[in-house]
Amino acid sequence: MARQPAAADFIRTIIDRDLASGAVERVIVRFPPEPNGFPHIGHAKSSTLNFGLAAEYQGQCHLRFDDTNPATEDQRYVDAIKRDLQWMGFAWGEHEYYASDYFGTLFDWACKLILKGLAYVDDSPEDVIRGMRGTVTTPGTESPYRNRAPEENLELFEAMRAGVFADGSRVLRAKIDMGHPNMKMRDPLMYRIRHATHYRQGGAWCIYPFYDWAHGQSDAIEGVTHSICTLEFATNRVLYDWYLDALEIAPRPHQYEFARLNLEYTITSKRKLLHLVQEGIVDGWDDPRMPTLAGLRRRGVRPRAIKTFCNSIGTTKVDSIHDPGLLEHCVRDDLNHRAPRVLCVQDPLPITLTNWPEDHEEIISAPYWPHDVPRDGVRSVPFSKELLIERSDFSEDPPKGFRRLTPGGIVRLRHAYIIRCNHVEKDERGNLVRLHCEWIEGTRSGSNTALKPKGTIHWVDAKRSLPVIVRAYDRLFAQPVPGDDFLEALNPSSLIEYKEARIEPSIADDPPEKRYQFTRLGFYWRDPELINSHPPVFNCIVTLRQAIQGQTKYSQHTLGVGRPVGAVLPRDSQSKPQPKTTTPAKSEPKSKQRPLSADEEHWLNQSGLNAATGLAIYGIPAAPEFLEAASEYVSRVSVGNWMANQLLPALKGAPLSSLPFGPSEFAELVRLADNGKASTHEARAVLKLMLAGERTPTKLLTSVQASTVSDSEVLRDIIGNVLSDHEDRVQAYIAGKTGLLGFFVGQVMKRTNGKADPRQVKALVKEELAGSAT
């Protein structure tokens, strides 16, 4: 499947804008992991975005390790991150950077801020600092050390660096505003003292910068243009900008935030994943059930599938959670045309072909590929008297719609013969031990036979097949959103091992990294960590999509893996997961209106405007006065509407005083519209010109009207063209879809470049349509 070009999401829109305006010459982005864990599917989204952007715009993506915390970071994670990124196919060339390499520059820049009086050393203990920060709704209070002289601060800061103070005894803080509504701006910490060994810097430093101080400055050092991070950093952006402004860095990077990837039944928190690893709940960071890239790789997923997935989920600012089904779809789609089919029975049930000659063996030449995959190749599959089939492909008491083997029924053995089950053998406890079946001669695959079994099942030869272990994986968590008590949400059967599985012998000589489709089961490959084990261990990469009649399922895994294929679930076990707790009662009609203040109420009453219009004007400086002044010439309601809906929005927050015209000119415009001299459409065009600096509405109107297409004959021509270009819609309109009228009007407006009176057009379109209806 061709890789579709990524849609122009909001990030690409911003980049296009910056490139077009010349603000940015070449796009430089960065992927900044902290080396404190293995990268996971969420990092795949971020790195696909950043490296993808660099490739698309012929820019550069830097790999930068955000290693400012010596307590949690380690070279082993650096190695893992680099390996996984390379596996994904991303190349950063020589642009491999480490925030810790910038410690020197960062230190110098901190001194600069101190000298500018924008940073100070605070001797307060940790809990005091926390206490004085205030809360989200109450302002903080200033530290008693806040107003130390710059020289003293510098001396202290240098002493901090020199190691004369104990851990936690002092910090360097930016001097911003303890009452700031954004808590990140309440004198944020820049440095803490940590007499620790950094995995790269060793003991060179005993003070370490915090994220906010290090990150933007690192971007600046590298010449990053667009610094793309996840949503939770949005409140940090103001601080990001503050530091850069304080240092007077130009040109400087800008931060943009997008929604991180969330997957149902999965966690993408490094902290929680680390917990699973440390507690031995999973078999390391690369356990095939883990959402880590290492886990996905070991499972057998290819990078292409992950990239397709990442590109297809979009880049937005909506905090959303994805269905793992989409990832699974991408994995199947990637493998369908590149994984040869072989036969493997996970949970064998022996069958004997009672009428097959003793000791007779047939070698069947079976194609590796189904009819719809245009690839060649066959392998030999032995067939004899004793065979094995999937236990779940037989049912003594078949549910409705069951298409496999039943007592007395027939079924096709894939690539081989049709058989009939004549006798069911059980042990003394009633357990099924063997089926005695009849081989139906002349029904070999490819031969013409009148017999049409409803189903085809997979099988292997009992003697000649090879023993294998098959590992089937289900989702790690049973809850769609595991939450903080994620350990409670663990799925107890996320790994099921089929120890008695058997596979056709053809695979014996295949290279170990070969991926297969086990017919009717799914895609598999040998676990790369257990490549020398005997019998071989196969991981299920993803099951086949299975639409078994009557089953509505949300997970292939629920049905296909971890249970015998085709097993029918009891009704209540297939119930949908709990829906998101969002959007509870969206239908409840409640129209609460904010209680108006006395002033607002009074003003609204005397102005005669409705609340929507009035409130749009009332809070804007000088707007009520503007309204009053303009109302001397024309109705206040009209002025109000034009102000609230046209003028003020066009200002985009700029003050009214910046207008190139005054209330009287504005009133003139409104009057033109009011008394019908100008259509609304024309009046808007005039306003646009006025905003551009022209002052005389009446004159402008003349020129606007001069270019207006108002000749009915000309318009009728255009309408005729539109109608004949959209014959189907004309029919629909005649058939009763009158809402299409707006569409026709819109088309005509487009073809006149907006230079027609839509009211006139509408009337004419109605006439024409009435004409064509008869």
Ranges within 481-500 binding RNA (CB under 7 A): none
Distance between CA atoms of 773 and 6, rounded to whole angstroms? 44
Single out the segment in contact with RNA by CB under 7 A; choices: 80-88, 240-248, 293-301, 546-554.
546-554
Cβ pair 502, 467 in contact under 8 A: yes
Single out the segment in contact with RNA by CB under 7 A; choices: 50-58, 276-284, 543-551, 659-667.
543-551
Query: Looking at 272, 275, 322, 716, which residue binds RNA (CB under 7 A)?
Result: 322
Residue 750 in the binding site for RNA (CB under 7 A)? yes
Distance between CA atoms of 496 and 478, rounded to whole angstroms? 15
Residue 246 in the binding site for RNA (CB under 7 A)? no
From the list 189, 193, 197, the residue with the least C-alpha distance to 243 is 189
Q: How far is the CB of 204 from RNA (least distance, A)?
A: 16
Sign, CA torsion 232/233/237/239 = positive
Query: Looking at 2, 20, 136, 250, which residue binds RNA (CB under 7 A)?
Result: 136
Residue 745 in the binding site for RNA (CB under 7 A)? yes
Residue 544 in the binding site for RNA (CB under 7 A)? yes
Query: Looking at 680, 702, 710, 731, which residue binds RNA (CB under 7 A)?
Result: 680
Taking the CB of residue 461, how many other CB atoms lie within 10 A of it?
Answer: 22
**200 classed as catalytic:** no
Q: How far is the CB of 619 from RNA (least distance, A)?
A: 7
Single out the segment in contact with RNA by CB under 7 A; choices: 103-111, 243-251, 420-428, 550-558.
550-558
Q: Which is nearer to RNA, 416 or 690 (CB)?
A: 416
Largest CA distance in the chain: 111
Catalytically annotated residue among 148, 175, 270, 302: 270
Residues 153 to 182 in contact with RNA, rule: CB under 7 A: 167-171, 181-182
DSSP 506-544: GGGGS-TT-EEEETTTEEEEE-GGGTT-SS-EEEEEEEP
Single out the segment in contact with RNA by CB under 7 A; choices: 61-69, 274-282, 493-501, 531-539.
61-69
**Residue labelled with tokens 């994943």:** 273
Residue 195 in the binding site for RNA (CB under 7 A)? no
Cβ pair 523, 537 in contact under 8 A: no
**Residue labelled with tokens 């350990």:** 487
x-or-dash pattern for RNA, window 580-609, by CB under 7 A? xxxxx-xx-xxxxxx---------------
Distance between CA atoms of 44 and 29, rounded to whole angstroms? 15
Q: Which amino acid is at 608?
A: G
**34 classed as catalytic:** yes
Q: Which is nearer to RNA, 384 or 641 (CB)?
A: 641
Residues 78 to 117 in contact with RNA, rule: CB under 7 A: none
Residue 307 in the binding site for RNA (CB under 7 A)? no
Residue 613 in the binding site for RNA (CB under 7 A)? yes
Distance between CA atoms of 409 and 454, rounded to whole angstroms? 10
**260 classed as catalytic:** yes
Residue 43 in the binding site for RNA (CB under 7 A)? no
Catalytically annotated residue among 146, 260, 545, 716: 260
Cβ pair 47, 85 in contact under 8 A: yes
Q: How far is the CB of 137 from RNA (least distance, A)?
A: 5
Inter-helix orientation angle 324-335/303-312, to 10°: 130
CA distances from 290 to 232, 268, 287 (A): 24, 9, 5
What are the beta bridge partners of residue 459?
389
Query: Looking at 679, 682, 715, 764, which residue binds RNA (CB under 7 A)?
Result: 679
Query: Looking at 457, 503, 507, 659, which residue binds RNA (CB under 7 A)?
Result: 457
Q: Which residues contact 616 (CB under 8 A, 6 or more apart)?
A: 643, 644, 645, 648
Q: Which is nearer to RNA, 476 or 745 (CB)?
A: 745
Residue 141 in the binding site for RNA (CB under 7 A)? no
Q: Which is nearer to RNA, 495 or 560 (CB)?
A: 560
What are the beta bridge partners of residue 543?
522
Distance between CA atoms of 612 and 597, rounded to whole angstroms? 15
Single out the segment in contact with RNA by CB under 7 A; choices: 184-192, 243-251, 374-382, 527-535.
184-192
Q: Which residues contact 142 (CB under 8 A, 6 or more apart)?
A: 132, 178, 187
Residue 742 in the binding site for RNA (CB under 7 A)? yes
Residue 183 in the binding site for RNA (CB under 7 A)? yes
Query: Looking at 86, 235, 380, 703, which residue binds RNA (CB under 7 A)?
Result: 235
From the list 260, 229, 218, 249, the residue with the least C-alpha distance to 102 is 218
Q: How far is the CB of 305 from RNA (least distance, A)?
A: 13
Residues 391 to 430 in contact with RNA, rule: CB under 7 A: 401-404, 412, 414-416
Catalytically annotated residue among 34, 155, 158, 694: 34
- Cβ burial 320-331 (10 Å sphere, 16+ → b, else e): eebebeebbbbb
Residue 274 in the binding site for RNA (CB under 7 A)? no
From the list 110, 129, 109, the residue with the least C-alpha distance to 119 is 110
Query: Looking at 641, 678, 708, 719, which residue binds RNA (CB under 7 A)?
Result: 641
Q: Which secondary-structure segment (H or E) carries 52?
A: helix 41-56
Q: Which is nearer to RNA, 50 or 456 (CB)?
A: 456
Residue 269 in the binding site for RNA (CB under 7 A)? no
Residue 475 in the binding site for RNA (CB under 7 A)? no
Distance between CA atoms of 638 and 643, rounded to whole angstroms? 8
Inter-helix orientation angle 611-618/598-607, to 10°: 120
Sign, CA torsion 222/224/230/233 = positive
Q: Which is nearer to RNA, 316 or 533 (CB)?
A: 316
Burial of 437 (0-12, 13-18, 19+ CB in 10 A): buried
Single out the segment in contact with RNA by CB under 7 A; choices: 87-95, 135-143, 533-541, 622-630.
135-143
Residues 326 to 385 in contact with RNA, rule: CB under 7 A: 326, 329, 332-333, 336, 341, 370-373
3-class state of residue 461 by DSSP:
strand
Q: Which is nearer to RNA, 495 or 498 (CB)?
A: 498
Size of the site for RNA (CB under 7 A): 143
Query: Looking at 268, 354, 355, 445, which residue binds RNA (CB under 7 A)?
Result: 445
Cβ pair 231, 260 in contact under 8 A: yes
Query: Looking at 610, 703, 707, 731, which residue binds RNA (CB under 7 A)?
Result: 610
Tell me how far the alpha carbon of residue 124 is from its chain's centroid.
42
Query: Looking at 19, 118, 129, 689, which residue binds RNA (CB under 7 A)?
Result: 129
Taking the CB of residue 625, how many other CB atoms lie within 10 A of it?
Answer: 11
Q: Which is nearer to RNA, 478 or 548 (CB)?
A: 548
Cβ pair 523, 515 in contact under 8 A: yes
Q: Which is nearer to RNA, 102 or 495 (CB)?
A: 102
Catalytic residues: 34, 260, 270
